[in-house]
Homo-oligomer: A and B are copies of this chain.
């Protein structure tokens, strides 16, 4: 299905969705964060048809989320690596992980966890906080017109 392009949408969420291109492309980003770099690695992980994976990888490269690099082992392959912009998506991926972990798994069902490498401990829930450190819930925040209402 063809969607209305949200490329020039005034909402940053809509424009983010447009840049990533497809829901499932988040899984490519997830795999790239986990160290996967080659077409075959993504294909094996995601079980996607080659033509579909090709389209999604091209879109992510065109949007500057992934970039192509020569293979790290000197072979003729090219590798897909997250750009700085792409790496910025890790907060989104980690937040999606935690939402799923809390909402979609039975107790004990989830066999994987995001850990802090330096301590081996589970990542605590990601919190939305105010400038002075208060935890903000959904009702504490508001989307508004930037130039009218925002104290900076």
Contacts and interface: CB of A to CB of B under 8 A. Distances in A.
B12 A101 contact: yes
Interface residues of A, number: 81
Nearest to A19: B104
Given A13-B97, A16-B97, 15 more contacts: A12-B96, A12-B98, A12-B110, A13-B100, A17-B23, A19-B104, A23-B23, A90-B137, A92-B99, A94-B128, A111-B145, A113-B146, A115-B143, A116-B130, A119-B151
A98 B105 contact: no
A129 B118 CA distance: 12
A84 to B, nearest CB: 9
Within the oligomer, what is the number of copies of this chain? 2
6 contacts: A4-B47, A17-B26, A94-B141, A120-B149, A123-B130, A126-B129
A122 interface: yes
